[in-house]
Amino acid sequence: MKSEEMEADNISTVMQFVLLGFSDLPNLQGLLFGVFSLIYIIILTGNSLIIVITSLDPALKKPMYFFLANFSSLEIFYVSVTLPRILVNLWTQDRSISVLNCAAQMCFFLILGTTECFLLAVMAYDRYVAICNPLHYPLVMSQKTCIQLAVGSWISGIPVQIGQTCQIFSLHFCNSNQINHFFCDVPPILKLACGDTSVYELSVYVAALLFVAIPFMLILASYSKIICSILRLPTARGRTKAFSTCSSHLLVVILFFGSTIITYLRPKSSHSAGTDKLLSLFYTIAAPMFNPMIYSLRNKDVIAALRKLSLKK
């Protein structure tokens, strides 16, 4: 009985966390603020521009660009969950965050991350139908189907990720209140929990398999069919044109899923704070910054729409 009381005394209720972020680089705080501010502006401008041109240009009123506009909107929300907080921490040097705000940040981050996985899978399916079944494409990818697929991508992860966030924040945190990360991500939060967290780690692993690995496998299956169809095309010009419509999406998939899978599905023993931070920078900041560039520079329709928009001005 006494030992239980002593154990209970050792568990202090954490009211707020401290996001250590980039505090190990004290001489670079101003430079990091400038760099991340510039990145945020690039992300907002690039993705907003894609949303505008896909809305205004009649030539881009196709399912492919409808999903691209959804994806660009998602990227703006996704990066806004983490990057403004990083900028505030760098500017004020006050790295504290309440438990409630930390939980909210994690919840929105997980929901939007799930949406990104599903939306990338839907975009791969769209390319699969366009290239492998071109005659049935207008029928299969009707406006109603596109809206249903987009809405499904946005909402499908909400109940599970809310449940997972509640589960994680029902834990007692007694080791420390210092999160060795720049936002409230799952692995660094679990490291602060008292006692055995194996059940929680298993639930995170299962959620990652469900929302990351399965969409990634569907994307791989779509692209294996796409590549086979492209190779069967009679002319080199036709093969080049077909591949160019997919290459942008494939680059985005590799950039996002590569870093996400390594973060959430690699063994716990190989986790380190430095590696986790570096990988997180890829899928939270680098990917949303490069995506508009990848889609605009590698897509002739988008380039033509941008030229038209600039000439109107």
Q: Which residues contact 34 (CB under 8 A, 6 or more apart)?
A: none
Chain segment 67-76, per-residue pLDDT in tens: 999 999 999 9
> Exposed/middle/buried for 239, CB within 10 Å: 0-12, 13-18, 19+?
middle
Label residue 44 by pLDDT band (50, 70, 90): very high
- Looking at this protein, which amino acid is placed at residue 222? S
Longest dimension (CA), the chain: 81
- For position 6, what pLDDT does the model report? 42
Structure-model confidence comparison of residues 269 and 287, the more confident one: 287
Quote the CA–CA distance of 91 and 101 in Å, as a whole number.
19
Residue 1 has pLDDT above 60, yes or no: no
The angle, 0 to 180 degrees and rounded to 10, between the axes of the packed helices 273-281 and 236-265 is: 150
With 60 as the cut, is the pLDDT of residue 249 above it? yes
Is a pLDDT exceeding 70 seen at residue 66?
yes
Average pLDDT, the chain: 84
At residue 170, the 3 state secondary structure works out as coil
The structural domains of the chain, with segments of one domain joined by +, span: 14-312
Question: Between 249 and 31, whose confidence is greater?
Answer: 31
pTM above 0.85, yes or no: yes
More confident residue, 31 or 308: 31
Averaged pLDDT for residues 230-239: 76
Find the angle CA(256)-CA(260)-CA(266) to the nearest 5 degrees.
150
Question: Whole-angstrom Cα distance, residue 41 to residue 136?
Answer: 40
Higher pLDDT, 87 or 245: 87
- The larger pLDDT score, comparing residue 307 to residue 99, is at 99
Task: Please give the Cα distance from 27 to 78 (Å, whole number).
Answer: 29
pLDDT surpassing 50 at residue 154: yes
The fold adopted by the segment(s) 14-312 is: Rhopdopsin 7-helix transmembrane proteins (1.20.1070)
Q: Is the pLDDT of residue 35 over 90?
A: yes
Rg over alpha carbons for the chain, rounded to the nearest Å, is 22
Give exposure, 195-234, as e/b (b: 16+ Cβ within 10 Å). Answer: eebeebeeebeebbeebbbebbebbeebbebbeebbeeee
State the pLDDT confidence band at 175, using cuts at 50, 70 and 90.
low
pLDDT of 21 reads 82
Q: How confident is the model at residue 279 (pLDDT cuts 50, 70, 90)?
A: confident
Token digits of residue 308: 């038209």
DSSP codes of every residue in 62-79: SHHHHHHHHHHHHHHHHH
Tokens standing for residue 44: 């907002």
